[in-house]
Amino acid sequence: MRKTCLLLGVILAGFPWGGGEALGQWPAGRVIDLTYDFDESTIYWPTAEGFRLEKVADGVTEKGYYYSANNLQCAEHGGTHLDAPIHFAAGRHAVDQVPLDQLIGPALVVDVAAAASKDPDYQVTVKDLTAWEGKYGRIPARSIILLRTGWGRFWPDRTNYLGTNERGEKAVARLHFPGLHPDAARWLTEQRTIKAIGLDTASIDYGQSTHFESHRILNEKNIPAFENVARLDRLPVKGTTVIALPMKIRGGSGAPLRIVAILPGRSRNP
| Cα–Cα distance list, 126 to 146, 156, 182, 215, 265 (Å) | 15, 30, 9, 16, 31
Domain annotation covers residue 169:
yes
> How many structural domains is the chain composed of?
1
- CATH number, domain of 225, equals 3.50.30.50
Predicted pLDDT of residue 98: 98
Query: Is 67 among the domain residues?
Result: no
> Does residue 66 fall inside a structural domain?
no
pLDDT of residue 264: 86
Indicate the angle between helix axes 213-220 and 182-191, nearest 10 degrees.
10
The string of pLDDT tens digits covering residues 162-212 is 999 999 999 999 999 999 999 999 999 999 999 999 999 999 999 999 999
Count of CB atoms within 10 A of residue 114's CB?
A: 10
Residue 257 pLDDT > 90: yes
Tell me the pTM: 0.89
- Note the pLDDT of residue 265: 76
Domain membership of residue 269 (yes or no) is no
63 within a domain of the structure (yes/no): no
The share of the chain scoring above pLDDT 90, in percent, equals: 87
Q: Is 118 exposed, middle or buried (0-12, 13-18, 19+ CB in 10 A)?
A: exposed
Query: Using CA atoms, how far apart are residues 212 and 206, in angstroms rounded to an integer?
Result: 8
Domain range for 191 is: 2-49+77-262
What pLDDT, on a 0 to 100 scale, did the predictor assign at position 20? 39
Q: Please indicate, yes or no, if residue 103 is contained in any of the structural domains.
A: yes
Q: Do 111 and 92 touch, CB atoms closer than 8 A? A: no
